[in-house]
Amino acid sequence: MKIVLDTNCLVNIIMPGSYNNDIWLAFRAAKYVLCVTNEILFEYHEILAKRYNTLIANTVMKDISLDFFDFGRIICLDYFFFA
């Protein structure tokens, strides 16, 4: 399954114990493919850094980028449609 994850949703699902943390865990378990653009990735980092801190933002972005490079669980729409 392919999804686009709204930034507000990402902010609310990454913390263990959050109401919808199972969505983040499902992504980590390769249950779906995350579709993003470069702008979405930048927004993810910006908002996470504001809401939590830069360390958490960097950690989440590292998790997302590792999934892209190592497992192909992310589709960067910029690459397919605008490159």
d(CA 70, CA 73): 8
d(CA 36, CA 74): 7
Q: Report whether pLDDT(68) > 70.
A: no
pLDDT band at 81 (very low <50, low <70, confident <90, very high): very low
Q: Report whether pLDDT(82) > 80.
A: no
Please tell me the pTM assigned to this model: 0.79
Look at residue 29 in the predicted model and tell me its pLDDT: 85
Tokens in use for 28?
């980590």
Q: Which domain holds residue 57?
A: 2-82
Structural domains in the chain (count): 1
pLDDT digits (tens, 9 = 90+) for 1-57: 888 889 999 999 998 988 899 988 988 888 888 888 888 889 999 999 999 999 999
